[in-house]
Amino acid sequence: MAMPTSSNSLRERVAFDQRGRASDGGGGTTTTWQEKFSRRAAYVHRNTGEVVMADRLQKKRTLLIRVRADSQTRAITNDWRARDTKTGQTYNILDATPTPDRRWVDVLAQTGGPNG
């Protein structure tokens, strides 16, 4: 699939969650995921390459999530997670990089692991 370059290609809805703390009801705290914001997004599935094939053997799926760049999406780091709001699937964020034209942020994400 070609990289999405228009708002019309943003057909998915993705929430971006950050670790936070919440009361455990007994006077202590627990680590939880807290939604920071959600955005329309486009998925670009990675289908080729040695790393992608090795990930498939480990039941992982790697994809690129493209969102419009703004102050919130530029703040995404690899200790956050992405979540498809329709399916509930969570993704570990491996990297978030603004495109050279600064109009988009490309989020490299993967299922499996502690967050996904």
Q: Once rounded to an integer, what is the mean pLDDT over residues 78-105?
A: 96
Buried b (16+ CB within 10 A) or exposed e, 47-58: eeeeeeeebeee
Q: Once rounded to an integer, what is the mean pLDDT over residues 64-79?
A: 96
pLDDT digits (tens, 9 = 90+) for 9-21: 899 999 999 998 8
How much is the pTM?
0.80
User: What are the residues whose beta carbons fall under 8 Å from the beta carbon of 30, sequence distance 6 or more?
Assistant: 21, 22, 23, 24
Q: Once rounded to an integer, what is the mean pLDDT over residues 63-72?
A: 96
Residue 43 has pLDDT above 90, yes or no: yes
Q: How far apart are CA 114 and CA 116, in angstroms?
A: 6
